[in-house]
Protein backbone atom coordinates (compact mmCIF):
# COMPACT_ATOMS: atom_id res chain seq x y z
CA UNK A 1 0.00 0.00 0.00
CA UNK A 2 1.27 3.50 -0.86
CA UNK A 3 1.90 6.01 1.94
CA UNK A 4 -0.80 8.69 2.12
CA UNK A 5 0.23 12.03 0.60
CA UNK A 6 1.22 14.50 3.31
CA UNK A 7 -0.22 17.96 3.80
CA UNK A 8 3.22 19.45 3.08
CA UNK A 9 2.77 18.39 -0.56
CA UNK A 10 -0.13 20.79 -1.09
CA UNK A 11 0.24 23.50 -3.72
CA UNK A 12 -1.25 26.49 -1.94
CA UNK A 13 -2.05 29.50 -4.10
CA UNK A 14 -3.25 31.81 -1.34
CA UNK A 15 -4.19 32.16 2.31
CA UNK A 16 -6.78 34.49 3.83
CA UNK A 17 -5.85 34.71 7.49
CA UNK A 18 -9.28 35.86 8.68
CA UNK A 19 -12.60 35.57 6.87
CA UNK A 20 -16.16 35.89 8.09
CA UNK A 21 -17.79 35.10 4.75
CA UNK A 22 -16.26 31.81 3.53
CA UNK A 23 -18.23 29.69 6.03
CA UNK A 24 -21.55 31.19 7.17
CA UNK A 25 -21.45 32.10 10.86
CA UNK A 26 -17.80 31.15 11.40
CA UNK A 27 -14.51 33.01 11.64
CA UNK A 28 -12.02 31.09 9.56
CA UNK A 29 -8.73 31.06 7.76
CA UNK A 30 -9.17 30.12 4.10
CA UNK A 31 -6.61 28.11 2.16
CA UNK A 32 -6.81 28.35 -1.63
CA UNK A 33 -5.46 25.30 -3.43
CA UNK A 34 -4.05 25.56 -6.93
CA UNK A 35 -5.64 23.83 -9.91
CA UNK A 36 -9.11 23.10 -11.26
CA UNK A 37 -10.13 20.84 -14.17
CA UNK A 38 -13.16 22.95 -15.10
CA UNK A 39 -13.39 26.11 -17.18
CA UNK A 40 -16.46 27.98 -15.98
CA UNK A 41 -16.95 31.15 -18.00
CA UNK A 42 -17.66 33.15 -14.85
CA UNK A 43 -14.56 31.98 -12.97
CA UNK A 44 -13.18 35.09 -11.32
CA UNK A 45 -9.90 33.49 -10.35
CA UNK A 46 -8.52 32.06 -13.62
CA UNK A 47 -4.96 32.22 -12.27
CA UNK A 48 -5.87 29.40 -9.87
CA UNK A 49 -6.86 26.96 -12.61
CA UNK A 50 -3.56 25.68 -14.05
CA UNK A 51 -2.47 22.64 -11.99
CA UNK A 52 1.14 23.07 -13.17
CA UNK A 53 1.48 26.40 -11.38
CA UNK A 54 3.53 26.00 -8.22
CA UNK A 55 2.14 26.97 -4.84
CA UNK A 56 3.30 30.19 -3.22
CA UNK A 57 2.65 29.32 0.43
CA UNK A 58 4.00 26.37 2.39
CA UNK A 59 1.64 24.29 4.54
CA UNK A 60 3.97 25.07 7.43
CA UNK A 61 2.76 28.70 7.26
CA UNK A 62 -0.82 27.50 7.82
CA UNK A 63 0.33 25.31 10.72
CA UNK A 64 2.07 28.26 12.36
CA UNK A 65 -0.95 30.51 11.83
CA UNK A 66 -3.22 27.99 13.54
CA UNK A 67 -0.82 27.60 16.45
CA UNK A 68 -1.02 31.39 17.01
CA UNK A 69 -4.81 31.65 16.51
CA UNK A 70 -6.08 29.02 18.94
CA UNK A 71 -9.31 30.32 20.49
CA UNK A 72 -9.58 33.10 17.89
CA UNK A 73 -10.57 31.11 14.80
CA UNK A 74 -13.37 28.58 14.51
CA UNK A 75 -11.80 26.70 11.67
CA UNK A 76 -10.16 26.44 8.28
CA UNK A 77 -11.91 26.41 4.90
CA UNK A 78 -10.22 24.66 1.99
CA UNK A 79 -11.13 26.39 -1.24
CA UNK A 80 -9.64 26.86 -4.68
CA UNK A 81 -9.37 26.20 -7.55
CA UNK A 82 -10.73 22.76 -6.79
CA UNK A 83 -9.27 21.56 -3.48
CA UNK A 84 -10.19 17.90 -3.99
CA UNK A 85 -7.80 17.81 -6.96
CA UNK A 86 -4.86 17.52 -4.54
CA UNK A 87 -4.02 14.24 -2.89
CA UNK A 88 -2.77 15.88 0.33
CA UNK A 89 -6.15 17.39 1.18
CA UNK A 90 -7.38 14.74 3.60
CA UNK A 91 -4.05 14.77 5.49
CA UNK A 92 -4.25 18.56 5.83
CA UNK A 93 -7.82 18.35 7.09
CA UNK A 94 -6.82 15.72 9.64
CA UNK A 95 -4.07 18.02 10.94
CA UNK A 96 -6.49 20.92 11.25
CA UNK A 97 -8.90 18.75 13.22
CA UNK A 98 -6.08 17.45 15.44
CA UNK A 99 -5.12 21.06 16.22
CA UNK A 100 -8.65 21.63 17.54
CA UNK A 101 -10.19 23.55 14.62
CA UNK A 102 -13.23 22.77 12.50
CA UNK A 103 -12.92 22.06 8.79
CA UNK A 104 -14.93 23.50 5.91
CA UNK A 105 -14.65 22.66 2.21
CA UNK A 106 -15.64 24.49 -0.97
CA UNK A 107 -15.89 22.10 -3.90
CA UNK A 108 -17.45 21.76 -7.33
CA UNK A 109 -17.59 18.00 -6.86
CA UNK A 110 -15.15 17.03 -9.58
CA UNK A 111 -13.34 14.15 -7.83
CA UNK A 112 -15.80 11.89 -5.97
CA UNK A 113 -13.11 9.51 -4.62
CA UNK A 114 -11.12 12.39 -3.07
CA UNK A 115 -14.32 13.95 -1.80
CA UNK A 116 -15.18 10.65 -0.11
CA UNK A 117 -11.70 10.62 1.52
CA UNK A 118 -12.16 14.19 2.76
CA UNK A 119 -15.74 13.94 4.04
CA UNK A 120 -14.93 12.22 7.37
CA UNK A 121 -12.80 15.27 8.26
CA UNK A 122 -15.36 17.90 7.16
CA UNK A 123 -17.72 19.75 9.49
CA UNK A 124 -19.29 21.77 6.67
CA UNK A 125 -19.32 21.58 2.88
CA UNK A 126 -20.24 24.27 0.37
CA UNK A 127 -20.94 22.25 -2.79
CA UNK A 128 -21.40 23.96 -6.16
CA UNK A 129 -24.15 22.42 -8.23
CA UNK A 130 -23.96 24.56 -11.31
CA UNK A 131 -26.91 23.64 -13.51
CA UNK A 132 -29.42 20.97 -14.45
CA UNK A 133 -27.42 17.97 -15.69
CA UNK A 134 -28.06 18.61 -19.40
CA UNK A 135 -26.58 22.16 -19.19
CA UNK A 136 -23.46 21.40 -17.16
CA UNK A 137 -21.09 21.27 -20.11
CA UNK A 138 -22.23 24.68 -21.33
CA UNK A 139 -21.16 26.18 -18.00
CA UNK A 140 -18.05 24.21 -17.06
CA UNK A 141 -16.75 23.19 -20.49
CA UNK A 142 -16.67 19.57 -19.24
CA UNK A 143 -19.91 17.61 -19.65
CA UNK A 144 -18.73 14.76 -17.38
CA UNK A 145 -18.67 17.27 -14.50
CA UNK A 146 -22.46 16.75 -14.29
CA UNK A 147 -22.12 13.14 -13.17
CA UNK A 148 -19.21 13.74 -10.78
CA UNK A 149 -21.08 16.63 -9.12
CA UNK A 150 -24.19 14.46 -8.77
CA UNK A 151 -22.06 11.67 -7.24
CA UNK A 152 -20.55 14.13 -4.74
CA UNK A 153 -23.98 15.47 -3.86
CA UNK A 154 -25.13 11.95 -3.05
CA UNK A 155 -22.01 11.30 -0.95
CA UNK A 156 -22.56 14.53 0.99
CA UNK A 157 -26.25 13.86 1.60
CA UNK A 158 -25.57 10.29 2.73
CA UNK A 159 -22.78 11.43 5.07
CA UNK A 160 -25.06 13.85 6.97
CA UNK A 161 -22.33 16.52 6.89
CA UNK A 162 -23.66 20.08 7.23
CA UNK A 163 -24.22 21.01 3.60
CA UNK A 164 -24.88 24.18 1.68
CA UNK A 165 -25.50 23.72 -2.05
CA UNK A 166 -24.62 26.81 -4.06
CA UNK A 167 -25.43 27.77 -7.63
CA UNK A 168 -23.85 30.73 -9.34
CA UNK A 169 -26.56 31.61 -11.83
CA UNK A 170 -24.79 32.01 -15.16
CA UNK A 171 -27.17 34.20 -17.14
CA UNK A 172 -25.41 33.34 -20.41
CA UNK A 173 -26.65 29.74 -20.06
CA UNK A 174 -29.45 29.49 -17.48
CA UNK A 175 -32.98 30.83 -17.87
CA UNK A 176 -35.24 31.30 -14.82
CA UNK A 177 -36.97 28.07 -15.90
CA UNK A 178 -33.65 26.19 -15.77
CA UNK A 179 -32.99 27.50 -12.26
CA UNK A 180 -36.47 26.42 -11.14
CA UNK A 181 -35.84 22.96 -12.64
CA UNK A 182 -32.54 22.70 -10.73
CA UNK A 183 -34.10 23.81 -7.45
CA UNK A 184 -36.89 21.24 -7.83
CA UNK A 185 -34.36 18.47 -8.54
CA UNK A 186 -32.24 19.41 -5.52
CA UNK A 187 -35.28 19.44 -3.28
CA UNK A 188 -36.26 15.99 -4.53
CA UNK A 189 -32.71 14.78 -3.80
CA UNK A 190 -33.04 15.98 -0.19
CA UNK A 191 -31.18 19.31 -0.25
CA UNK A 192 -32.45 21.69 2.43
CA UNK A 193 -30.13 24.65 1.87
CA UNK A 194 -29.74 25.91 -1.70
CA UNK A 195 -28.16 29.31 -2.18
CA UNK A 196 -28.32 31.19 -5.49
CA UNK A 197 -25.46 33.59 -6.21
CA UNK A 198 -25.24 36.28 -8.86
CA UNK A 199 -22.39 36.25 -11.34
CA UNK A 200 -19.78 38.96 -10.74
CA UNK A 201 -18.08 40.28 -13.85
CA UNK A 202 -14.96 41.49 -12.02
CA UNK A 203 -11.97 39.21 -12.47
CA UNK A 204 -13.59 37.13 -15.23
CA UNK A 205 -12.01 36.79 -18.68
CA UNK A 206 -12.72 39.61 -21.18
CA UNK A 207 -14.68 37.28 -23.49
CA UNK A 208 -17.08 36.46 -20.66
CA UNK A 209 -17.57 40.14 -19.86
CA UNK A 210 -18.41 40.63 -23.55
CA UNK A 211 -20.99 37.82 -23.39
CA UNK A 212 -22.58 39.46 -20.35
CA UNK A 213 -22.72 42.78 -22.17
CA UNK A 214 -24.26 41.16 -25.26
CA UNK A 215 -26.81 39.47 -23.03
CA UNK A 216 -27.88 42.83 -21.62
CA UNK A 217 -28.90 43.77 -25.16
CA UNK A 218 -30.29 40.38 -26.23
CA UNK A 219 -31.53 38.38 -23.19
CA UNK A 220 -31.99 34.58 -23.42
CA UNK A 221 -35.50 33.62 -24.61
S1 LIG B 1 -15.11 25.25 -10.52
FE2 LIG B 1 -14.66 27.21 -9.52
S3 LIG B 1 -12.43 27.44 -9.73
FE4 LIG B 1 -13.05 25.84 -11.19
S5 LIG B 1 -13.36 26.95 -13.13
FE6 LIG B 1 -15.36 26.82 -12.09
S7 LIG B 1 -15.52 28.75 -10.91
FE8 LIG B 1 -13.34 28.49 -11.47
pTM of the complete model beyond 0.85: yes
User: pLDDT (tens digit, 9 = 90+) per residue, 167-188?
Assistant: 999 999 999 999 999 999 999 9
User: pLDDT (tens digit, 9 = 90+) per residue, 90-105?
Assistant: 999 999 999 999 999 9
Phi, psi of 76 (to 5 degrees): -125, 135
Ligand 1 mean position to 57 CA, how many Å? 20
**Ligand 1 binding site (Cβ under 6 Å of any ligand atom):** 36, 38-40, 43, 48-49, 80-82, 108
* Residue 122, Ramachandran bin (φ over 0: left; ψ between -120 and 50: alpha; else beta): beta
Please tell me the residue having the least CA distance from ligand 1 atom 7: 43
Cα–Cα separations (whole angstroms), residue 109 to 72, 106, 113, 150, 209: 30, 9, 10, 8, 26
Rounded to the nearest 10 degrees, what angle do helices 176-189 and 145-159 cross at? 40
For a mutational test of ligand 1's pocket, the pick from 43, 111, 141, i.e. the residue with the most ligand atoms closer than 8 A to its C-beta, is 43
**96 Cβ contact partners less than 8 Å away, ≥ 6 residues apart:** 66, 75, 76, 102, 103, 121
Averages of pLDDT over runs of 10 residues in the chain (221 residues) are: 80 97 97 97 92 95 96 96 97 97 98 98 98 97 96 97 97 96 97 94 91 83 74
Amino acid sequence: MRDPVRADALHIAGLTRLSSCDWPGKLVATVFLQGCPLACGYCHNPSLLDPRTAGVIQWEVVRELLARRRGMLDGVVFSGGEPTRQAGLAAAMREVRDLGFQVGLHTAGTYPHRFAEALPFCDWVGLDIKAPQRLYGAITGVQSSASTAAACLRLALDSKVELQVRTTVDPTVLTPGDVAELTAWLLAEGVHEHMLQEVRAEGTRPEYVERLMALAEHPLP
